Amino acid sequence: MANLVWKSFKGIPLYVTLIWIAVFSLLLHFLDKSVLSFLGILSSIVLLYFTNTSNKIKLAIGALVLIVIIPLVAGENRYYMEVASQVGIYVAMALGLNIVVGFAGLLDLGYVAFFAAGAYAYAIFSTSQANEFIAGNLFPLSGDWFWPFLIVGLIVAAIFGILLGLPVLRVKGDYLAIVTLGFGEIIRIVFNNLDKPINITNGPQGITPIPAPELFGIKMGTPFYFYFIVLFIIAFIVLANIRFEHSRLGRAWIAIREDELAAQSMGISLLNTKLAAFATGASFAGVVGVIFAAKQTFIDPTSFTLMESIGILVMVILGGSGSIPGVILGAAFVTLLQVQLLKEFSNFLHSLQQSGIINLPNQLDPSKFQRLVFGIMLIFVALYRPNGLIPAKRKTNDLGAIKSSPFSSGKLGILSKLSQSSSTKQS
């Protein structure tokens, strides 16, 4: 029954989506600090995804909402922009992990290590920290260096990914989860202790002040600017995800996810293909790490714990492993849940407590529900929705286009032998 209803569902009419966007934009504009209307605007992107209209129009409206409407109605509110850029940071990371877990099927529980690599790369060299081990008093660098460091962070994390991947990816299946988890912890412990013998990471004290990005003399330290930086990076990562998904490499990733043995007998090198996935996913995390460091202005090893890796994994799996829209939805949902919903709920309970209605031990503060929520989500998704909220779907190919392709004029590959031998049967 439910399935039938779903099948006949053609999508949300365009006008509903447009009205939705308009209403919540106005609400947010006129009501001060309305969390609900802010969530309403953000969720209009989800609505848009299910709207019954062409992809071009969806893209245009989506861009309009993200680039114009949100900054216009929420741009003056630091908090909203902060939340929006946080959502963006996690969306970008989840999309990176999606390549590793979603496409290639490699359960990586140490993903945050690459995020840390990018963050530390920028933090160490943009502050005076690098003077500790490089002579010449060349540091700190100015915020102009943020931009080249996006590339540096990408490369550093990719190298990290390859160095870690070379040994780790030889390990089979579910062992990989444990080994990456171990490696993630190793890296955190190392960062935590590398203040001696040479002080590279400043250990548990962390590194500060990390300079904000600068462009043409403008300091871009506010959430408003970070929102746009993150948006730009997401656009890049989404584009990369889409292109990879239906490419030679993307097919190889999915092939090894589905069946390693069969993939090998198709001429796919397991190690190289997995390394490519690992390095690609890592490099995205590295870029985001640079942004994160600049946004926080302070980093220490506590930002890179196993919980972070698990959180990103939850986003990917909840949204739909291997599904780009799913992962975006999952990341946005989980981040909002953490930074906004649980916090709001927490504040609400506190207000009840202050008025003496309930007695709430500090330990039960919902903002500390993280493990519980993640745990329940993981079990729930595994049991009832193993493909996530928006399951991955393979693109159907336009067979007409294939038949009318100029390449269709002759037989290709092994079938080119048909035209040589005097074949009798062939339609």
Partner 1 sequence: MLLSILPQVLVDGLTLGFMYAVVALGYTMVYGILEFINFAHGEIFMVGAFVGTEVLLITDAIGALEGMNPYVALFMTLIITMILTGALGVGIERLAYRPLRGAPRLVPLISAIGVSFLLQDVVRFTEAIARNEFYLNTPVLFSGTVSVFGIATIPIKGLVVIILAIVLMIALTLFIGKTKWGIAMRAVALDPSTASLMTINVDKVIMLTFLIGSSLGGATGVLFAQNYGTIDPYIGFILGMKAFTAAVLGGIGNLRGAMVGGVLLGMLESLAGAYMGPLTNQAFGAEYKDVFAFSILILVLLFKPEGLFGEAVKEKV
Partner 2 sequence: MAILEAVGLTKRFGGLVANQDVTIKIEKGSITAVIGPNGAGKTTFFNMITGFYEPDEGEILLAGKSIKGLRPDQIATRGITRTFQNIRLFKQMTALENVMVGTHSRLSAGLLGILFNTKRIREEEEKARVEAYQLLEYVGIEHIANEAAGSLPYGLQRRLEIARALATNPQIILLDEPAAGMNPRETVEMTEFIRLLKKELDLTIILIEHDMKLVMGLSEYIHVLDYGRKIAEGTPEQIRNNPSVIEAYLGKSATEVS
Residue with smaller CB distance to partner 1, 70 or 255: 255
Residues 389-408 that bind partner 2 (CB under 8 A): 392, 394, 396-397, 399, 402-403, 405, 407-408
Number of alpha helices (DSSP H) and beta strands (DSSP E) in the chain = 19, 2
Provide, rounded to whole angstroms, the least separation between the CB of residue 49 and partner 2: 21
Cβ neighbours for 104, distance < 8 A, ≥ 6 positions apart: 253, 254, 256, 257, 273, 274, 277, 278
Beta bridge partners of 45: none
Is the bond preceding residue 211 a cis peptide, omega within 30 degrees?
A: no
Q: How far apart are CA 239 and CA 366, in angstroms?
A: 36
Q: Where are the beta strands (DSSP E) in 218-323?
A: 218-219
* DSSP tag of 364: G
Is the bond preceding residue 197 a cis peptide, omega within 30 degrees?
A: yes
Query: Does 339 interact with partner 1 (rule: CB under 8 A)?
Result: no
Residue with smaller CB distance to partner 1, 4 or 198: 198
Residues in the chain: 427
List phi, psi (to 5°) of 371.
Answer: -60, -40
Provide, rounded to whole angstroms, the least separation between the CB of residue 332 and partner 2: 25
Query: Does 379 interact with partner 1 (rule: CB under 8 A)?
Result: yes
Please pick, from the candidates 254, 290, 315, 329, the single residue that binds partner 2 as defined by CB under 8 A.
Answer: 254
Q: Where are the alpha helices (DSSP H) in 106-194?
A: 112-126, 146-168, 173-193
Residue with smaller CB distance to partner 2, 278 or 374: 278
Please, are residues 154 and 283 in contact by the beta-carbon 8 Å criterion? yes
Please pick, from the candidates 5, 383, 399, 412, the single residue that binds partner 1 as defined by CB under 8 A.
Answer: 383
With CB under 5 to 8 Å by kind, the binding choice for 183 among partner 2, partner 1, none is partner 1
Alpha carbon separation from 68 to 71, 105, 218 (Å, rounded): 6, 37, 21
Which among 43-51, 217-225, 281-289, 365-373 is the span making contact with partner 1, rule CB under 8 A?
A: 365-373
Query: Does 55 interact with partner 2 (rule: CB under 8 A)?
Result: no
Binders of partner 1: how many residues, by CB under 8 A? 49
With CB under 5 to 8 Å by kind, the binding choice for 423 among partner 1, partner 2, none is partner 2
Residue with smaller CB distance to partner 1, 171 or 418: 171
Residues 93-112 that bind partner 1 (CB under 8 A): 105, 107, 109
- HSE-CB for 308 with a 13 A CA cutoff: 20
Please pick, from the candidates 68, 239, 376, 415, the single residue that binds partner 1 as defined by CB under 8 A.
Answer: 376
Residues 31-66, buried b or exposed e (16+ Cβ, 10 A)? eeeebebbbbbbbbbbbbbebeeeeeebeebeeebb
Residue with smaller CB distance to partner 2, 265 or 354: 265
The dihedral sign for the CA sequence 70, 76, 79, 81: positive
Which among 206-214, 215-223, 291-299, 413-421 is the span making contact with partner 2, rule CB under 8 A?
A: 413-421
- Binding pattern for the stretch 251-290 against partner 1, x by CB under 8 A and - elsewhere: ----------x-----------------------------
Provide, rounded to whole angstroms, the least separation between the CB of residue 1 and partner 1: 23
Please pick, from the candidates 78, 219, 371, 417, the single residue that binds partner 2 as defined by CB under 8 A.
Answer: 417
